[in-house]
Amino acid sequence: MKLAILGASGGIGRLLVEQALARGHEVTAAARGSSQVTLPPKATLLRGDLEDEAFVREVITAGGKRDVVLSALGHRLPGIAPWHKPERPAFLQRSTDAIVGAMKAAGVSRVIAISSGGVGDSREIIPPVFKMFVALSAMKTVFASLEDMEQRYLASGLEVCIVRPSGLTDEPATGRVVIAKKYAGRATIPRADVAAYMLDQCEKPAFTEKTPSITVTGA
Ligand SMILES: NC(=O)c1ccc[n+]([C@@H]2O[C@H](COP(=O)([O-])OP(=O)(O)OC[C@H]3O[C@@H](n4cnc5c(N)ncnc54)[C@H](OP(=O)(O)O)[C@@H]3O)[C@@H](O)[C@H]2O)c1
């Protein structure tokens, strides 16, 4: 498949690029000019402004129209989470609008993006202590922004899958991802498993889930 991977400098973004190439996909990756990233030579890396629809359109059409857009974009915090608000609060709002606009203009219909467990209706399945932690920390701002991003994608009319991972780790992939209906313990998932789940969804003829709360532990 021809894939566009946005946010290729991030923890999950890099793994998406590596795993997509290993699965034999053709990858155009994008990152902003200042991103610290070196990708395998088989990936095409374009640098530019992810809030700019024209740039995103270039990314998803360069080397042929992409079959699926994968966004690993998220907020960068200027210090240790969860006590710092996003460095650029409107980034997800603006980049989502740019991605949706560019996809419609280019005739690309499938997009898979990353939100978080506890956002939207998955708030109902997280433990009360985590809800309180979100409400009392700067995560409140991040979660509101992720919810706004989700709504923009879900209202776009595109074929959308928004993954809501539990706490991310850098452990190796387990291949044991489940969709949580309720969290009953410390819920974590390796970034490598999130990337693999996203690619599995891409490889299906249609996404099987719209907003899966994915985890390896704690469900
Ligand atoms: N941490 C957790 O436990 C947890 C749990 C559930 C969900 N999540 C969500 O999962 C997402 C992905 O995780 P991750 O570890 O892969 O995140 P990450 O390493 O922080 O990656 C975020 C990506 O977004 C890009 N980005 C941020 N602001 C940008 C801007 N203004 N312009 C262009 N690019 C920008 C970053 O580019 P640069 O490299 O240039 O900054 C990077 O590529 C997180 O953002 C978070 O919303 C996290």
Q: What's the rounded Cα separation, in Å, for the pair 191 and 194?
A: 5
CA dihedral for 202, 206, 208, 209, sign (positive or negative): positive
pTM for the whole structure:
0.97
- Please tell me the predicted confidence (pLDDT) of residue 84: 80
CATH label of the domain that carries residue 100? 3.40.50.720
Q: At what angle do helices 139-154 and 91-106 cross, to 10 degrees?
A: 20
Distance from residue 159's CA to the centre of ligand 1 (Å): 22
Atom of ligand 1 at shortest range from CA of 12: 16
User: Would you write out the chain's pLDDT as a tens digit for each of its 219 residues?
Assistant: 999 999 999 999 999 999 999 999 999 999 999 999 999 999 999 999 999 999 999 999 999 999 999 999 999 888 776 778 888 999 999 999 999 999 999 999 999 999 999 999 999 999 999 999 999 988 999 999 999 999 999 999 999 999 999 999 999 999 999 999 999 889 999 999 999 999 999 999 999 999 999 999 999
Tell me what pLDDT residue 78 has.
80
For residue 34, report the distance from its CA to the centre of ligand 1, in Å. Answer: 14
Q: 101 CB less than 6 Å from ligand 1?
A: no
- 34-68 burial, b at 16+ Cβ within 10 Å, e below that, comes to eeebebeeebebbbeebbebebbbbbbbeeeebbb
Residue showing tokens 């704690």? 218
Number of domains comprising the chain: 1
Q: What contacts 190, CB < 8 A, 6 or more positions away?
A: 168, 169, 170, 171, 172, 173, 174, 216
Q: Is 10 in the pocket of ligand 1 (CB under 6 A)?
A: yes
Q: Which atom of ligand 1 is nearest to the CA of 51?
A: 32
pLDDT confidence of residue 77? 85
By residue range, what is the domain housing residue 186? 2-215
